Amino acid sequence: MKRLVGFYMLIALLNSVSLFAMFVSPVEAAAAVIIRDNHTGFIEDLGRYFIVGEVENIGDVTATNIWIWATLYNSSGEVVATPSNEIMMMFLLPGRKSPFGVLLWDTTKSAMVHHYTLDVTFSPYPQGRQQGLDIVSSSSYIDETDLKHVNGTVRNIGSQTATYVYVMATCHNETGYVVDVHYTFPGMTIAPGETDSFDMPFVRRDRALLTAWWDLAVESDEYEMIPEFPFSICVYALIAASSIIIVARKRKF
């Protein structure tokens, strides 16, 4: 009797699993680009309103054709202008971030801006992108005019020549807000296995004074940047290594 009860319970369980499977569809891969909430807007040196920030691909498919659409309002809530711009990276791999800048060229309208809203549009790029560029070194210095620069070296570790290579910087203040963005072209091409240097001036001096740290990224027509190991991974690796040493010492004695 107990065997029969167990048999019927097994049949009921299998039926419930089958019924559950009927209602569960497989998850499809998708790109999902969001605007991070650390963007800022300001009047730059020439009197134009400039919005800077970051987008992030939180999906699992590469995205491209990513545009930021801004709506600028005056203090009464009336629309002043609707500028837009493509983000600074052509392609955004899953888990990656990219800086963006949206500029209102009209100085008269810029002086009227009180607040703004942002929207983002993008297209999935399921074929993905190769990773073949590496920023092997970087540093900063102040030139004779007291202008801050970031310089460094880019290496092409891919198998084909990298063309239209350019480096971007996302500048953050002490609390993590984006206060400026910059870019520079280290050279038109970098052959496989070769390096090229870049020098990027932080041309908006007042924003440079607000900059506490910055992120660098590099891209070309052929390649994306090879990611660096996150700091947290390095910490966990050190903790794991320390634990192994401690265990080994305990076993030894």
Q: What is the pLDDT of residues 60-86, one digit of tens each?
A: 999 999 999 999 999 999 999 999 999
Q: What is the mean pLDDT of residues 150-162?
A: 96
pLDDT, position 31: 80
Q: Report whether pLDDT(107) > 70.
A: yes
Domains, the chain, with CATH or none: 33-124 (2.60.40.3230), 131-231 (2.60.40.10)
Greater confidence (248 vs 40) lies with: 40
pLDDT of residue 216: 97
Q: What percent of the chain has pLDDT over 90?
A: 75
Residues with Cβ < 8 Å from 131, sequence gap 6 or more? Answer: 93, 223, 224, 225, 226, 227
Model confidence band, residue 231 (pLDDT cutoffs 50, 70, 90): very low
Work out the mean pLDDT of the chain and round it to a whole number. 85
Structure tokens at 238: 């050190």
Q: Is the pTM of this model over 0.85?
A: no
pLDDT exceeds cutoff 70 at 155:
yes
**Residue 22 above 80 pLDDT?**
no
Average pLDDT over residues 107-113: 98
Arithmetic mean of pLDDT, 19-24: 39
> What is the structure's pLDDT at 178?
98
